[in-house]
Amino acid sequence: MEKLMQKYEQKLCTAGLAEEGEPLMGILDAELCWNRKNRHTALLEKIFQQMNINSILFSKPKEPYNSIINFLSRASNEAIYPEDCESRTFLHDLPIAADFSDTAIIPRLRNRKCVLIPGYGVIAFGTVSLEQAFITFSSVCFASFVKFFSDILHKKKKGLISLEESKFLDRIRRSLPQPVEHFSALSSAPFEAETEVLNALEEAGKKIVDYGLVDSYFGNISYCFHDTLYISQTGSSLDELAGCIDPCPLDGSSCAGITASSELSTHMEIIKTLGTKAILHGHPRFSVIISMDCDRYECPCRGFCHRKCPEIRNLADVPIVSGEVGTGPFGLCRTVPQAVEKARGAIVYGHGVFSTGKEDFNEAFLRMLAIENTSYKEYFRRFDA
């Protein structure tokens, strides 16, 4: 248990989500075990007593997330409503507690996976593993970031931004890392054996996390080798793919890949129709944010853009398409495969980027990086316009 807590503390810090020494984590089996104790432990113990759960994570998010969450909370009453598709799907909304007390926190946690306590941080829990709390925490940071930048751009365009908001944005903007233009090359094709393919997948998965193109849990990656698609498993960490890659024969002769990523169908379709070998999918933030910036305020599909945007929108040569996670009637498996063809990449509205490489991950990685950098620049161009 101690090891597990160390692992997630490390992950939070490496991902820039929390400062070292900040996260407080507890795991309960027969006995309760803490990674550290401080003045907040007593309240968290009450949560354990009153809820049927087995793990808790409480931390102040690292900047700029902490300021962003506090900022959004001030403008919201009960909850923050995320706008990106993954957070909407998996978290629904992010409830806010007015103060750091059990009476404010516990009722909100009883119905959602997390609670935000402005000025204090975020509490998330798991009923199966601490990993759930970690994923929720990371999603809260991502969702808040995306919402903040989307909302503020919208306000700016409408001329509704206040001086205070404008100043706040400037501060956050200055703290953002500059886009990385270059990257060290990944293993190049041809791959001779399955082990080389698995290594290439692990290497590329780790790199998109290292470059901040995806938070470790969100995204998927695949490579087609000898009529088999090797794809990351559902809920796998892209920076820890060893043992988490499913081989799926293209002819469907085995269902062993039932644990493969929820985007298996999209990957399969891309491979089959385009004949490319490598596919990356991540949620680079500014690509997600820019995909939701649309000026057609009178559009009848407004509010359902992620499902049924009828327009062909582009960011430079990259198409922005609608599509929900997975395979439903509005699933992105119905829009992405055609869309990626021309530009070797596509952005899914409010969700993320798919990019492809003909032979290996170098091309796909470069493409994703370029899409995110263009999105970043385009965002501030629009903001400053």
Partner 1 sequence: MFGWCGKILRIDLTAEEFFIEEPEREVLHTYIGGRGLAGSYLAQEVTRDWNDPAMPLLLFAGPLVGTVSPASGRMTIMSRSPLTGTVGDTSAGGNFGTFLKKAGWDGILITGASTSLCGIEIADGAVVINHVPEFAGLTTEETVQYLADKGSTAVIGPAAERGVLFSNIIIDGHSAAGRNGIGLIFAAKNIKYISVRGTGKVPVHDPEELKRAREDIVRLTAASPVLLGELGISRYGTPALYDLMHTRNMMPTDNFRKTSFDDAPSMNAFNLHKTYKPLNAGCRGCHIRCKKITPKGSAIPEFESLSHFSALLNNSDLPSVVEANRICNELGMDTISAASTLACYSELEERTLTSREICKLLHDIGWGRGEIGIALGQGSARYAKSQGSPESSISVKGQELPAYDPRGAYGMALAYATSTRGGCHLRAYPVSHEILRKPVATDRFSWSGKSRIIKIAEDANAVVDSLAACKFIFFAASLEEYARAFTATTGVETSAQDLLKKGERIYYLERIMNSRNGFSSADDDLPPRFFSGHGSARNNASAKPLDRNDFLVARSNYYKIRGLDAKGAPTEKKAKELGLKWKS
- Contact positions toward partner 1, by CB under 8 A? 1, 27-30, 50-54, 89-90, 92, 107, 109-113, 126-129, 131-132, 135, 233-236, 248, 252-262, 264-265, 268, 324-328, 331
Contacted by 352, from partner 1, Zn ion, none: CB < 5 to 8 Å by type:
Zn ion
Query: From start to end of the chain, where are the E strands?
Result: 24-28, 32-34, 55-59, 79-80, 94-95, 114-117, 121-126, 220-225, 228-232, 245-249, 278-282, 313-315, 318-321, 345-348, 352-357
What is the number of alpha carbons within 13 Å of residue 12 lying toward its C-beta?
A: 34
Contacted by 89, from partner 1, Zn ion, none: CB < 5 to 8 Å by type:
partner 1
The minimum distance between CB 204 and partner 1, in angstroms, equals: 21
- In the complex with partner 1, the residue whose CB is nearer, 169 or 244, is 244
For residues 234 and 262, is the Cβ–Cβ distance under 8 A? yes
Which residues, 6+ apart, have CB-to-CB distance to 370 below 8 Å?
none
The minimum distance between CB 50 and partner 1, in angstroms, equals: 8
Contacted by 131, from Zn ion, partner 1, none: CB < 5 to 8 Å by type:
partner 1
Buried b (16+ CB within 10 A) or exposed e, 169-185: beebeeeeeebeeeeee
The minimum distance between CB 351 and Zn ion, in angstroms, equals: 6
Neighbours of 32 (CB within 10 A): 16
The minimum distance between CB 20 and partner 1, in angstroms, equals: 24
Residue 321's Cβ-count burial label (10 Å; 0-12, 13-18, 19+) is buried
Positions touching Zn ion (CB under 5 A) are 352
**21, 22, 60, 66, 251 from 13: Cα distances, Å:** 9, 9, 12, 14, 42
- In the complex with partner 1, the residue whose CB is nearer, 51 or 176, is 51
Contacted by 254, from partner 1, Zn ion, none: CB < 5 to 8 Å by type:
partner 1
- In the complex with partner 1, the residue whose CB is nearer, 134 or 379, is 134
Contacted by 312, from partner 1, Zn ion, none: CB < 5 to 8 Å by type:
none
d(CA 21, CA 9): 8
The minimum distance between CB 353 and Zn ion, in angstroms, equals: 9
Neighbours of 312 (CB within 10 A): 9
Q: Are strands 345-348 and 318-321 parallel, antiparallel or unpaired?
A: parallel
- In the complex with Zn ion, the residue whose CB is nearer, 60 or 281, is 281
Contacted by 335, from partner 1, Zn ion, none: CB < 5 to 8 Å by type:
none
The minimum distance between CB 219 and Zn ion, in angstroms, equals: 6
The minimum distance between CB 264 and partner 1, in angstroms, equals: 5
φ/ψ of residue 339, rounded to 5: -65, -35
φ/ψ of residue 324, rounded to 5: -90, 165
- In the complex with Zn ion, the residue whose CB is nearer, 117 or 264, is 264
Residue number closest to Zn ion, CB atom: 352
- In the complex with Zn ion, the residue whose CB is nearer, 354 or 376, is 354
